[in-house]
Structure 1
């Protein structure tokens, strides 16, 4: 089963998303900020990173840009998540290299569908 990293500064959101994913038999690593995510990625290469946009230290856009411009990590699928849902926000996220963009709050089924599409075809919904 795929390995998914959840990067979310809200402890409640982080645990909730990790719980949903574990219930679907995914291997899950959860961290609370972008710096910790980059440290963890050096140790273990997940298949997908679910990445909050607004976080302290490094925001999701910065982490995504780093991952997608680094040869070792550019193949990791990145799903950006934000409460901002304008066309401009989505466009900015995709311009950073994200493979998908979800607006919070999202339902578990939407997240799972996005993950399944990325793993199966390499494209988001």
Structure 2
């Protein structure tokens, strides 16, 4: 079973995303800010990270940049899911190393499909 880290400071969004992913059989861990996210990644080694951009203590761009710059975490897929929906925001997120970018409000089915696609390609690349 795959583990997904949901990094979201809005508790309602965090809860909704967690329940959505648990319903499709994923194990979910959560972090409320960027620093906590990096700690949880080291502790739990998730198979995928869903990352908001606007976060306390360290923004999602910096978290993604750090993840993708470390050999032990560079292959973890990152899905940025943010209310920042301008083309530049998407471009900048991908430039930091994100594997996919969804603008909020995200449709639940779109989140599930994107997560499954990223996990599948990650598992294929790892084998």
Band of TM-score, shorter chain: over 0.9
Aligned match of 1:26:
26
Q: How does 1:26-105 map to 2 (within 5 A)?
A: 26-105=26-105
- 8 A contact 2:81–2:106 mirrored in 1: no
Aligned match of 2:107:
107
**Stretches of structure 2 lacking an aligned partner (at least 5 in a row):** 123-127
| Structure with the higher fraction of residues in helix conformation | 2
What is the TM-score of this pair, normalised by structure 1?
A: 0.94
Task: Give structure 1 regions of 4+ aligned residues with deviation exceeding 6 angstroms.
Answer: none
Q: In the TM superposition, what is the alpha-carbon distance from 1:82 to its structure 2 partner? A: 1.1
Structural RMSD (CA): 0.9
Q: Distance in 1 between matches of 2:42 and 2:121?
A: 26
How many equivalent pairs are there? 122
Q: In the TM superposition, what is the alpha-carbon distance from 1:120 to its structure 2 partner? A: 2.1
What is the TM-score of this pair, normalised by structure 2?
A: 0.93
